[in-house]
Structure 1
Amino acid sequence: MSHHLSPAAIFSPSLARLQATTSKDWAYIDAWLSSKLTLSSNSNTIPKIPPFERTPDTLRALLALAAFNEAADEEQGLLASAASNELSLALAQSQSQFRSQTQLAPENDILANLEAHLTPEGSRALETLASLSQPESLNVAAPDTELLGRRMINLQITANDVAQASERVAILEAHLNKELERLQVLVGELQSDAYQGPPGMGKESVDYQRKTKVLAANLPELQERIASLTANARREDKISVQDVKGKEERFKKMLGVVKDLEKQVKSYHGLPQDTDLARLQLESVRVELQDLTRERDAMFEGLVERESPKKTRS
């Protein structure tokens, strides 16, 4: 990731701040990795994170790993300090026991003999342990064996937790390294000349280009239609008195049509709601009407024959 601001960040303060923060985070990660790899490697060349791996997800994972590593280092330092205090207390107890057992020998002679036979490193270590074994340095009046035992147990529990956390971090680091290797292999395959895309990629690209050209050609027409519809909508929003009168006349005509339809519906009053039953009832009424029509015609013919004068034979 580049440490220089992009052209878009020059005109965007928020983007510039984001890029500056990201650059600081990457600088911190580079320094942290350099310190760790320098301690674990004898070579002068230290591998760096490749540019294509400098993604936000990788940055978040590395920041979390660095924070966890620093916390583990602090806990290890506390454990070492506690172990040193414990050792100094044990040395003080052993010295007191040694003094009680060698009461016949003068104390100054014993200390002189010990100091005479110590190496310079041993003398410095003895002075350090002696300074740590003083009650004032432990903020207690006198060492308590039960309290020290409890603290040792707590320190052992903490050390176990730290060891388990360190194992989990090691597993996470192994997974990250495997993923990094896989991504490097994938990038190498993509950048190689032998890489070939899916069989239908070329055809799909041509189809997408053709559809894009068609849409681009139809875009002016669609824009004109949208503008015309917007203008018509604006004109329709302005209602005049003539428009209200015209709508009122159309409403009156529709009201007359509704009344005619209501009259037609009333003519079917008395029929059942079921369509089949209504058809049967209508058919029976129609048959009855036909019978009455035939009876009327027969009565009319009889009336005509009765009233017509009879012809006499000559």
Structure 2
Amino acid sequence: MSTHLPPSAPPVIFSPSVARAAASTAKDWSYIDSWLLSKYAPLPAHIKVPSFERDPDTLKALLALAAANEAADDSRQQIADLESAALAKLNNTNNNTATSSPADQTVAAQEDPLTSTSTSTSAAETYQEAKTAILTSLSSSLTPSGKEALTSLSSLSQTLSLPPSRADPLHLASSLLSLSTELNNLEQTQQRLDLVNSHITRATASIDKLLFQLRKDQGYSPVAGLAKENLEVQRRIKTLTGQTLPQLTDRVANLASVVAVAESEGGAVGEEGGGGGEGMMTVEQVRREQEAYLELLRRKQELDVQLQPFQGLPPDTEQARRELEGLREELRSLTSRRDEAFEGLVEGGLSPEKEIRGRG
């Protein structure tokens, strides 16, 4: 049964497993596209999502990268929340200390000497100490993979010479992708340059070999007097150009004027002289002369055929007759000898056919 789908209609997937796989792949690509757009959205307008090949291997790598990035984002968000909570708690403590009465502060100092000492420090030093304590606690509580990731990020930011404000993973990834793209372009350019260099090297070697052969083979060297002969030819060309060429030009101009006058007076001369002017031949005359020549040539060939049997005879008529009579006498002699031989065979009782078989 023939289908009536248009030629441009997309192919229909009838396998449920293939349909599920296609739907899953499309969903994964949609997730990757949205994730890349979300990561490149904060960047400047001239930095866009780079183009890449959409194949299963690329999808697998991008999904793994997205999962690792989301895990890192969750960890970073937890650290940021912890820092915010600690900072808020520290600020509340400082505010409570600042708003308490001097008598309360004196009592608190008498009850706890450490508290009185801490309240005497400035708020900035307190914040720095709290931040250092938090960072130390976080560093000591990191897993080995977390420490390795943090070290990699710091090393990468130093290698790329990024300021602390742009040392976040997003800018690091963007800079790394840009460097990878530039490195790939430079490698391709280097390969093309190497190819051109190899072609130039082979061509130079071939030219050097040909030049060596030309210098070695004396057959390619110019003749000893070639330069002198060249000068002589140039001198003759200049002489002819200066003297003979103007004369020839004048002669051609004179002939052209004569031909023009003859063509203008051709009608009157034809009427008076009865045909085209004296000394001038027309195309019709040339055609008649050619036909007469061809007729004579055909007659000559016929006469040559008729004279072919008489080739070898003397030019004198009497000698030719005598030679012809001699040939006729020789022919009669041969005829008589043939007749005698035939009569002898008949008288001997042998027919010519038997004679021939006996000889055979």
Q: TM-score, normalised by structure 2?
A: 0.28
Task: Point out the structure with max Rg over C-alpha.
Answer: 2
Q: TM-score, normalised by structure 1?
A: 0.31
